[in-house]
Amino acid sequence: MNTRHPFLDTCEELIARQTPNLFRFYLNPHVVQTCHCLNRYVRDTWYADKPKQPNYQSFLANSFEESLSGAIKLARYAASVEHRSQRGLILDFAGRLGSFVSAASENNARIEFIPNLVVETGPPSWAELREPFGFAVLLLSPALESCEKLDEILIALERQSALRIVCVDRPALHRCRQSASALRDKLRPDIVVFDESFVRHHVPFGAFAARRTLYDYWNGSRNATFHSTTYQPNSISTLHFLKCAEMDDPEFDTRLSGELDGIRTDPERCRSLFGELYNPSLRKTMAVLGLDTFDVRAAGHYVMAKGRRIFDGVGGVACSMRGHNPENYVAEQESLQSAFHYREEVAERLRELTGLECMLPAVSGASAVENALRIGLATQPSNPYILALKGGFGGKTLLALAGTSKESYKTHIGPLYENVSYIDPFAETALQDFDAALEKYPVGIVQMELIQAVGGGRLVPERIVRHLEARRQDRGYLLFVDEVQTGMYRTGSFTLSSKMGIVPDLLTIGKGTSDMMCPFAATLYSSVVRERMEAVGSDLPASLRRRNDYEFGYKTLLHTLRHAEKSGLSERVSQSATLFAERLSDRLSFCKAVREVRAFGLLIAIELNAHGWLQRRFKEKLSSIYIYNLLHHPLFPVFMGYCQYEPNVLKFTPSLTITPTEIERCCDTLADTLHAPFYRLLPPVLRAMAVSHMRDKWHGY
């Protein structure tokens, strides 16, 4: 009899088959199958009696809160474009949302994290329904479903043309699917949000499925990643979703088995549904790169595709500690099956490494950032302002956007948390600007990344960092350092702040915490913050801990920390970084295609030069052209990424266990490609785009 935890069976299957996990650019059948199931859940539940059923396109996330955040963003986006109200009504009769929208502070005051959302835990009054809503969120529960006024509320919302977001767990979906259920006809949702119950709360998972006609607002190339979260899409959550559907909903699984088998065995069917049900822009990118195939495997530092061995220099964007599908992962997890100390050991190890006494689990970098902001703001309601840095990136979920300075990520989705001011850390007047902002605003949190990894791979000037650290003593704000990309030994030391001798009040780590397997992140905070929380009588930390308390996330992080200590990972990364810097300097110092190389440990940014007329013409696609040619290098193909804020900056974040030989070969490939005349790099990319376009026309995508 197999007594092993079902999640470990999922892990073992991924590792045995060498299935890529945190690797976006391949035709992932598990992602397509999951989106197909979500689409069918919605259509079969609410449109089974309709001759023409709408298709629902899905977004995959790491939690119910992340997926709800995305659903609200999409609803607000549509309302803004269609010139309707962006005000939202949330019916949460079971009190499930907790601090998602707001939190209590001292003297019964409330801090609004997401403005313009009206949360009701009982039937709203007619006066409240009189002002128009652009959308309504209904968290299904027995209390809401039996509400005598539900019909009248829904009629009022329909008159206002309010979009309907319906949130379900597996029991609620089952109630809706019963033949006698009145919820079939009452709801007809525009967006459906699915929670962690669909994976038995074993692994971080959430999703929303929206009418395709509604999701089309985000299907343009410029909005293809408008809403995203760390670790998504991934194979581990989607494969576990499919396994749980087989166990918990066997009738549904049996009915869809032929369709799911077709997705798994027919690449053309899988390609078509990938674009239709998940992400058409990503499908096109995969096709151009030549990775829209089932023939992709991942092990160690390499991805194998169509018989080609490609060095993965992205590593899930700084997630890789020791490569893809670590062979000992399941055995390491099983060694802790009977132990109950892993949470305490993780917290103690992190305290020793950072000097911060308290830890909260999270499911992604964005959720870790949101935890930090919620806690920091809740401790000082009289100082509600966040001072953040231009060029910074906190995430794309609703509250995390406070630390994300790029305005294009916020278009049409406001209002967001409004008490935020941004300072340019690279301006000559940065110190004066910072001090002026402190005088002007009641600042409670100063948020920064020491290296702006999304914003071009730039190190914030040390004089700015020291000034921000020093002023917190007399101004009383909390210093929040986001090390989701720079932590977990990425720059050599465990965190860059510890290397600089800085102990912030709030600190976030992520990415490498997953070991390329289990999505996990953490928010760390000081005893000062804990004491402030206790003083205002807030139970916020306990609430956040319960929602993200994933056993295998803790265990993954614990083994990652043990492995790093045992293998001397910090010293190894420092040695690799020195070798990389030397070789890149030797090979690229006189390269006309390169404007600057910025290397910080194993977080390396290469800014490309757009000086020639041909380069200027293709400036927006410059990094993509080089990425394609690096990926197709004849001797040692290398997969690289780029910075979202500055697409002319290549980004290299390989596994921390990269070898000296691999460093040499990566630098050879970079030198070969970057020294090549640009006119020679362009034709193969244009040919690949033309072939992809013709195939799309042939198959009618």
**CATH code of residue 128:** 3.40.640.10
Q: What is the pLDDT of residues 20-40, one digit of tens each?
A: 999 999 999 999 999 999 999
Q: What confidence score (pLDDT) does residue 1 get?
A: 47
Tell whether 167 and 77 lie within a shared domain: yes
Q: What confidence score (pLDDT) does residue 2 get?
A: 57
338 within some domain: yes
For residue 578, give the CATH number of its domain.
Answer: 3.90.1150.10
Q: What confidence score (pLDDT) does residue 338 get?
A: 62
> Could you tell me if 113 and 380 are in contact, meaning their C-beta atoms sit under 8 angstroms apart?
no
**Helices 551-567, 342-354: crossing angle, 10 deg rounding:** 50
**Domain boundaries, position 575:** 305-322+570-687
696 within some domain: no
DSSP E strands, 157-292: 163-168, 191-194, 206-211
Q: What confidence score (pLDDT) does residue 399 get?
A: 97
Spans of the chain below 50 pLDDT: 1
What 3-state class would DSSP assign to 212? helix
CA dihedral 126, 131, 132, 137 (to 10 degrees): -60
Tell whether 555 and 409 lie within a shared domain: yes
Q: What is the pLDDT of residues 302-323, one digit of tens each?
A: 999 999 999 999 999 999 999 9
Q: What confidence score (pLDDT) does residue 23 get?
A: 95
Closest of 41, 333, 54 to residue 198, by C-alpha = 41
Number of structural domains in the chain: 3
Tell whether 470 and 483 lie within a shared domain: yes
Tell whether 562 and 598 lie within a shared domain: no
Place of tokens 């910090």: 570
Separation of first and last alpha carbons in the chain: 47
Q: What confidence score (pLDDT) does residue 339 get?
A: 63
Q: Is the pTM of this model over 0.85?
A: yes
20 within some domain: no
Tell whether 614 and 640 lie within a shared domain: yes
Q: What confidence score (pLDDT) does residue 224 get?
A: 80
Which residue type occupies 643? C
612 within some domain: yes
Tell whether 70 and 187 lie within a shared domain: yes
299 within some domain: no
Tell whether 230 and 261 lie within a shared domain: yes
